[in-house]
Structure 1
Amino acid sequence: MNTLSEPEAGGLDPGLSAIMSERHQLIGVAYRLLGSLADAEDVVQETYARWYAMSPEQQEAINRPGAWLTKVASRICLDLLGSARARRESYVGEWIPEPLPGRPEWINERPGDTTVDPAERITLDESVHMAFLVVLDSMTPAERIAFILHDVFRYSFAEVAEVVGRTPAACRQLASSARRRIRASQAPEATAARRAGIVRDFKRAWEAKDIDALIGLLDPDACAIGDGGGLVNAELRPVEGDGQVARYLVDLISRAPDMTILESTVNAQAGLTVQQEGVTVAVFAFDVTGDRIAHIWAVRNPEKLRPWTARTA
């Protein structure tokens, strides 16, 4: 996949530097909308291509280039989201958003507008958590865009309306509907430190093949979902129930004794990676509610692990 190469900073005029500095935020918006870093990078490349296709006079007539770029990127995402359902029908097994390593620098980038009611705003850190992205994936494309642009990136509903082609009032309703979905899916979360401790205990119990200890860390209705994309072996359907999940995990590690399990930061939260011969072959994200693990997402599709394999190459 090709990514946009930025000119050397020393050769940029201030206006061009300002345009290129929007790249991180554009990737942040597109990733949250699409759940794929690879697709987000393609969207940003196309967005810049459209900017540079304009004449200098057309560019100068745009008062807020950053907002223009975000709107164009969001429209491209809207088109992609509209065709995503058809693509998913041919996807083998469960589809999970592409996991992010570490804490990407764009997680905490924010545009200057601060007019959004704090009660309607979710933090940028939260908006890349795996559980959050999974709920976003259940929304309609218009709901998703209205919510992300308004509640997360603080764009006005008038600006959102320009992207989705609806009235500001309709966009307000879209964001409200998305907000209700988010709230309905939320349960009391553990603190970051407690979450990290539970994931660490889970790792130790898994390595020890201790089914009872694993069950003690899992919610009785725990659900584990794997994503192999048909390229590697993965369960085609979710594994449900604490006992079933524990036994499945122990069976998995028993069949691959050369697995190395490492603590990692996955989508800005405590997670695990699995390596074989020094190469990352799976990334695990967790939804910890209270003192138990409610959901486990295991991404094995190698196409979704490229940022991780590049780090271990």
Structure 2
Amino acid sequence: MTLSDAGSDQVTFLSPQYDEDNAYLEFRLTVTDNDGFQNADILVVHVLPRSIGHMLTNDLWIRAVIHTVEKGAVDAVWQKGGEAKTSRGDTVIWGHFYASPDDVSWGSQNNPDLFAKIWYDASGRIDVSYFHVSVPDISVYSDYLTDTSDVQSGITTMTTRYIRQYYENGQVYSEEKDEDGNPLADDMPMGDPQGYATTEELTIGAIISTEEKGPVDAVWEQGGQDVTQRGDQVIWGHFYAHPSDVTWGQQDNPDLFVKIWFDVSGRIDANYFHVSVPDIEVYSDFPADSLFDKAGTTTLENRYIRHNYANIMRCSWTCSASGQDMLSWLCQIIKNDAKTELICVHLRSFAVKK
């Protein structure tokens, strides 16, 4: 290993590659003044192997560690969703981290545990924003390699849903927000967005309050869906502003991340995570009847809103013959003065894999 200039007050070097997370390099710095007096100090640098975390670009490294009940701390897997450049020169990269199915039974590429959006602002600022989706605590890290700062770290939880680590003018900053998933007390959105059917019985929508054009309907882009081993269903995706409405609108510039969880117990959670600058009204309708049942406004100060539908139980019909359709049904108990009814509605159908 060679230092760029051992006699300089600012030294750079290219670290050797290591396969384990226990490599430390120790440097001794000695300073001598004009009178010949000396003082020394020791600097220890922790070198992370390339196999840990993900080099998002040539100069930005990110990592997430999920603290699971089953296996303790496990490194999350990065899944890039997309990348885009705005008309003014900003660059956005987005995606999510998930638990590997090799580590936990609920781990899946289509079961996001942590959404991430990275923004390279045209001014030079870099924002690394993490949005907590899952149940376990998740340690999040980032490192901008062109500065001299240490690796930035934080822990997202069911309470601390948002952490932003950002780099600007050679300085490093971090902020986090605690969220309870509820709209503000005086929040009463009255919009009527275009609804998107995530299933036959659950419709969602969003309205972005833009400076350029006022309220505009956000466009829904589904990222994926899956079913866990125990029968929970997950659908995820994002809303974005249409490019015909605003110059910064793009399919690969998410304004609102969404994860919908159909719990095996019957509970439905529609989780909305505010990513962009403008306020965004969020809506959901269950059972779908063209009238939105729940609404709220996500903002820079209230980034997370959860719509919960309880008192629902799930049943299913399956056929044993491979290649036929398996129908998944949602059953809701509706109680009135006269009787209790069990109503089943078809959610989706898909082919059983051989």
Asked whether the two chains share a fold, i.e. TM above 0.5, the reply is: no
Structure having the larger proportion of residues in strand: 2
Which structure has more relative contact order (CA 8 Å, sep 6+)? It is: 1
CA radius of gyration, larger in: 2
Q: What's the TM-score once normalised by structure 1's chain length?
A: 0.26
Q: Which has a greater percent of helix?
A: 1
